[in-house]
Each structure stands twice: as structure tokens, then as C-alpha cells.
Amino acid sequence: MSSTATRLYGLTAQFDSEEKLVEAARMIFASGYRRIDAFSPYPIEGLAEIIGQKRSAAPLIMLIGGITGAVTGYGMELYAMGYFYPLNIGGRPLNSWPLFIPITFELAVLFSALAGMVALLVLNRLPCLYHPLFSVPDFQRASTDQFFLCVESAHPGFDSDHIRELFGRLNAIAITEVRSG
């Protein structure tokens, strides 16, 4: 790896248990670092909050999707049955709303679920088939049984030596400098 042509992405530390990762995340966050992320093979409750991630915007996006779906569904039915192609069947009102509810409901669910999928991808910046972290030794075990913490160099006042020292005190199994190029 030619280090002259590449840029420092961040520093990672590897841990072998959930508890150590959570402890490390707490300490690094308390030391003032903000551009940090933690990697685990399964969701760990509260970890995102520890590293400063506030509420997810996904529920709002899905709610907007659902409302859009409902309005689209009802609007389409009312337009087609009441205005564009009015049919008088047994004297029923043109805006026969009880009969329009099933499709309104289905489209609300459909749009909301699709909005959820889009929200998941956009908020997580996926798909992202290449990432500098994939070059960290053993990082593939983050999807089986290892736990990683990364401090990104984008943090203003990123101090490589200080972080190394902190990671060392936290008994990290391995500390790796990640470069992107």
C-alpha cells in the first residue's frame, strides 16, 4: 500500500465482546470525538445513542409515504368513479367512500413500505459496494463474532497518537490505520 498517495480515513480498534465495544464507544465519545462508528454482528441496543446518533428519520419518511399513498389511492378512485367515468349503479353516490377504503388502505401500506426501503438505503448511504473499512484486517469477522470501533479522521482535531493511546488502554485486540485512496 503506497501511503503517499492515500489519505488517512481513520483508526479502528478490534474487540472480542459486546461489553468491551460499548465501553470503548462510551470512553471515546466522552473524550470529545464525534465522527465515530461502531460495527457489530448484531444490533446492540443503545449503541447508536452512545456514539451520538439521535433519532432516525425513517418513521417520518414512512409516515409521509403512507399519507401520500392514501391520498393517491382515494384521489384516484374519486377521480375515476366520480368525475372521469361516473357510473350510476343502483343509485349509489358517486363518492361511495366505504367502498373506496380498501384500495386507499392498500396503497397507504404499499407507499409506506416502499418509502421505508428507500429511507433505509438513503439514510445508510447504501448501496456502497466499496468502503475503506473493508481493507481492515479481520473486518469480515464484524459480520460473525468481532466488534470494531472506528474514529474518522474527518473529526476536527483528530489526534492519531491520542486515539492510539486510548485504544491501548481499552485493551483492543488490534489497532489499524485505515487509508482510502
Question: Residues interacting with other proteins, by CB under 8 A?
Answer: 18, 25, 37-44, 47-48, 50-51, 53, 56, 58-59, 62, 66, 76-77, 80-81, 84-85, 87, 89, 92, 96, 99-100, 102-103, 105-107, 109-110, 112-114, 116-117, 119-121, 123-124, 126-131, 133, 140-145
CA geometry: angle at 120 spanning 104 and 13, to 5°? Answer: 165
3 or 181, CB closer to other proteins? 181
> Minimal distance in Å, beta carbon 178 to other proteins?
12
Q: How far is the CB of 121 from other proteins (least distance, A)?
A: 7
Helix (H) or strand (E) holding 84: none
Residue 89 C-beta: closest distance to other proteins, Å: 7
Q: Is 153:36 a contact under the CB 8 Å cutoff?
A: no
Q: Which residue has the cell 489526534?
A: 159
Q: Give whichever of 30 and 84 is closer to other proteins, judged by the CB atom.
A: 84
Nearer to other proteins (CB atom), residue 5 or residue 126:
126
Quick one: 6 or 143, whose CB is closer to other proteins? Answer: 143
- Closer residue to other proteins (CB): 5 or 129: 129
Q: Which long-range contacts (CB under 8 A, 24 or more apart) does 136-142 make?
A: 136/12, 136/14, 136/176, 136/178, 137/174, 137/176, 138/14, 138/174, 139/12, 139/39, 142/39, 142/40, 142/41
The CB-of-177 to other proteins minimum distance in angstroms stands at: 18
Query: Under a CB-based contact definition with an 8 Å cutoff, are residues 11 and 150 in contact?
Result: yes
